[in-house]
Amino acid sequence: MEIWINPACSKCRSAISLLDAEGADYTVRRYLEDVPTEDEIRDVLDRLGLEPWDITRTQEAVAKELGVKEWARDASARERWVKALAEHPRLIQRPIITAQDGTAVVARTDEAVQDALSRKG
């Protein structure tokens, strides 16, 4: 299990605390420093069952600079979104936990963290 975090994010710290309280075995990835590649982003999207626009933080300053809210949200635009997430990791919603069963969750609530913990595979 891996968790993508920004240490400055309260939701990330909360998720880590819960994982620790449950004695979970996990790896921390500080994704702003260890930036995911486009392939890693595609893999996580597949595991999440989501599209790149579903995990994009559209309120970030860089999102506004890029004008992502106006971008198409369809198959033809998917790679543009993936590229933007790889080039501007601050846009990636957090925390993301990749579960042992090959799935992943955006763990912004305690319930989502518990859901990831329950996915043993």
Active site residues: 9
Q: Which two tokens stand for residue 106?
A: 């955006």
Provide the residue type at 11 as one letter.
K
Q: CA 69 to CA 28: how far, in whole Å?
A: 30
Q: Which two tokens stand for residue 108?
A: 């912004």
Helix ranges (H only) for 2-109 are 10-21, 38-48, 61-66, 78-87
Phi first, then psi: what are they for 29, rounded to 5°?
-120, 115
| Strand blocks (E) in 6-118 | 27-30, 96-98, 104-106
Q: Report whether the peptide linkage leading into residue 89 is cis, meaning its omega lies within 30 degrees of zero.
A: no
